[in-house]
Chain A
Amino acid sequence: MSSAASQRSWLTPSVVPGFGMTMGFTLVYLSLIVLLPLAALVVRAGGLGWDQFVAVVTAPRAVAAYRLSFGAAFIAAAINIVFGVLVAWVLVRYRFPFKRLVDGLVDLPFALPTAVAGIALATLFSKNGWIGSVVEPLGLKVAFTPLGVMVALVFIGLPFVVRTVQPVLQDLDKEVEEAAASLGADRFQTFRHVILPSILPAAVTGFALAFARAIGEYGSVIFIAGNLPMKSEIVPLLIIIKLEQFDYRGAAAIGAAMLAASFVLLLVINMLQRWSRQRMGG
Chain B
Amino acid sequence: MVIEVRNVTKRFDTFTALHGLNLQIQPGELVALLGPSGSGKTTLLRVIAGLEFANEGQILFDGTDAGGRHVGERRVGFVFQHYALFRHMTVFENIAFGLRVVPRQRRMSDSDIKKRVNSLLSLVQLDRLADRYPTQLSGGQRQRVALARALAIEPRVLLLDEPFGALDAKVRKELRRWLRRLHDDMGLTSIFVTHDQEEALELADRVVVMNQGAIEQVGTPEEVYDSPATPFVYEFLGNVNRVPCRIENGKVSLWGVDVAAETHDGATLPAGETAGFAYVRPHDIELLPAGQGEPAVVRHVAAAGPTARIEVSVQGVQPLIEAQLSRKRYLDLGLKVGQQVAIAARAARVFPASASPGPPAGPAGL
Residues of A within 8 A of B (CB): 173, 175-176, 178-186, 189, 193-194, 197-198, 279-282
Residues of chain A within 8 A of B323, CB atoms compared: none
Whether A280 pairs with B72 at a CB distance below 8 angstroms is no
- Once the chains are docked, how many angstroms separate the CA of A182 from the CA of B81? 14
User: In the complex the two chains form, what is the Cα distance from A186 to B71 in whole Å?
Assistant: 10
The answer to whether B72 touches A181 (Cβ under 8 A) is yes
Contact A175 B87 (CB under 8 A): no
Partner of B84, one of A178, A193, A197, A279: A178
| Residue B51 lies at the interface, judged by CB distance under 8 Å to chain A | yes
Interface size on B, residues (CB 8 A): 31
Q: A184 to B101: give the CA distance in the assembly, Å.
A: 7
A175→B84 contact, CB < 8 A: yes
Cα distance, A183 to B81, chains bound together (Å): 16
Task: Tell whether B339 is near chain A: CB-to-CB under 8 Å.
Answer: no
Known: A182-B78, A183-B153, A186-B72. A176 touches B84 (CB 8 A): yes
Interface residue? B149 (CB, 8 A): yes
Q: A185-B72, A280-B88 are in contact. List 6 more A-B contacts (CB 8 A).
A: A175-B81, A179-B85, A180-B86, A180-B101, A181-B51, A281-B134
- Bound-complex Cα distance A180 to B84 (A): 9
10 sampled A-B residue pairs with Cβ under 8 A: A179-B84, A181-B51, A183-B150, A184-B73, A185-B97, A185-B98, A186-B101, A198-B88, A280-B87, A281-B88
A residues near B134, Cβ cutoff 8 Å: 281
Report the minimum CB–CB distance from A273 to chain B (whole Å). Answer: 14
Give CA–CA (A175, B86) in the complex, Å.
Answer: 10
**Is B82 close to A, CB under 8 A?**
yes
Interface string of B76-114 (1 = CB under 8 A from A): 111011101111100000000110011000000000000
The complex places the Cα of A189 from the Cα of B51 at a distance, in Å, of 17
Residue B133 at the A interface, CB < 8 A? Answer: yes
- Residue from B51, B70, B135, B149 within 8 A of A183 (CB atoms): B149
User: Which chain A residue lies CB-closest to B149?
Assistant: A183
Contacts of B122 in A (CB 8 A): none
Residues of the A chain whose Cβ atoms lie less than 8 Å from the Cβ of B71: 178, 181-182
Question: What CA separation (Å) do A26 and B69 show in the bound complex?
Answer: 58
CA distance A281 to B146 in the complex (A): 17
Do B87 and A182 touch across chains, with their CB atoms under 8 A apart?
no
B70 A181 Cβ-Cβ under 8 A:
yes
Name B152's closest neighbour in chain A (CB-CB).
A183
- Residue on B nearest A177 in the bound complex, by CB: B84
Choose one: B84, B98, B152; the contact of A173 (CB below 8 Å).
Answer: B84
CA gap between A189 and B71 in the complex, in Å? 15
Q: Is B49 an interface residue (CB 8 A)?
A: yes
